[in-house]
Structure 1
Amino acid sequence: MTAFGRFGEDGASTMAISQDAGISQSYLFRLFPRKRALFLAAVERAFDETEAALRGGASGSSTLDELRQRYAELLSGTGRDLLYLQLHVYARSLEDPECQEIGRRGFLRLSRAVAELTQAPAGQVLNLFAHATLWSVLAVLGLPLPPGRET
């Protein structure tokens, strides 16, 4: 996911992907005969791991502030590649129906998880995602996140 998050589907080399995974390139192609299949699987996993991070291992409820903090932690740590990969799939969605479908399903799943965890009204859930997306763009551009990360 690191290579795809940083370079996108077209820019990520299968050599870098196999090295990141700690496997040979030939084994990588046994698992995923086409780079496209690997990219789509990585996107699905990125959404899975993002949801798990937002849930924070909690079985109960969370506040919007807790979820904001978890998202900010993703951006400041190794989770940033998960979020960058999601940005790639959103951008590809303009011309790629397969990416659009995966992006749509993933986004809806994340928004439902936030709504379930927080019991917040739809407008507040949407507001959280609006700010989280802005934070991802700021991070990609190398700009600082807003102080306090208020939404």
Structure 2
Amino acid sequence: MSPRMSAGARRELAVRAAMAEFAHGGYDGTSTWTIARRIGVSQPYMFRLFPSKHALFLAAAERCFDDIEHRLAEAARGLRGRDAMAAMERAYLRLPREEPALPRLQLGIHAVAVRDEEIAALGRIRWARLWRLVGDLSGEGPDAVARFMADGLLVNVMTAFGAPLGPDLPRAMAAWSEGLRGGDPDRPPT
């Protein structure tokens, strides 16, 4: 018989499950019942862990930003300048393959923020913090940070559309978009 899991451990499981489920189904398409079932608890118990679906989404959004910040900090460890920026770019490009829920959930956070002021406020705070982190870790100025953040959003969008990613993001995007001339993703570029 396994030992009982603490409420804190169950909360952690719930947040991780919520991240995956919200990344897959979005806010509106994900039920707390689905998340509860995924971690093996009842829906009433889920509401003891989080008072509402909204509170669970906020926790998942916070953790999404935490995980991305951790990934970037690990990538830049011991590096500065362009080397740190390049390491963070490579780490972010690996997200769709290694942790696909993160870029998908980021898009979901953006979508919900359009209509939900609390999510928008969280997004503003965490986006600003992410901006400062990239600048602090690299020592690069606003132009380089803006390019990094813009490329990150492009990675998220390309991931959502199933576009191929490569180390040279602009060329990967250009080749993919040329392949879609006339709406046929399999049509070779003209």
TM-score, normalized by length of structure 1?
0.89
Distance in 2, matches of 1:84 and 1:10, equals: 14
Residues 150/60 of structure 1: CA separation in 2 closer, same or farther (3 Å cut): farther
- Alignment partner, residue 70 of structure 1: 91
- Alignment partner, residue 141 of structure 1: 161
Structure 2, unaligned runs of 5 or more: 1-18, 172-190
Structure 1, unaligned runs of 5 or more: none
1:39 aligns with 2:57: yes
**Contact 1:2 / 1:20 at 8 angstroms: preserved in 2?**
no
**Contact 2:103 / 2:159 at 8 angstroms: preserved in 1?**
no
Distance in 2, matches of 1:43 and 1:29, equals: 18
**Shift in Å, 1:102:** 0.8
Residue correspondences, number: 150
Residues 145/57 of structure 1: CA separation in 2 closer, same or farther (3 Å cut): closer
**Contact 1:2 / 1:81 at 8 angstroms: preserved in 2?**
yes
**Shift in Å, 1:57:** 6.9
The one-letter amino acid paired with 1:68 is E
Q: Which of the numbers 149, 152, 159 marks the counterpart of 1:132? A: 152
The one-letter amino acid paired with 1:66 is A
Q: CA RMSD, aligned part only?
A: 2.0
Identity of aligned residues (%): 37
* Greater relative contact order structure (CA < 8 Å, 6+ sep): 1
Q: Which runs of 4+ in 1 moved over 6 A?
A: none
3-state secondary structure, aligned to 1:84: helix
- Alignment partner, residue 7 of structure 1: 25
**Structure index of larger Rg:** 2
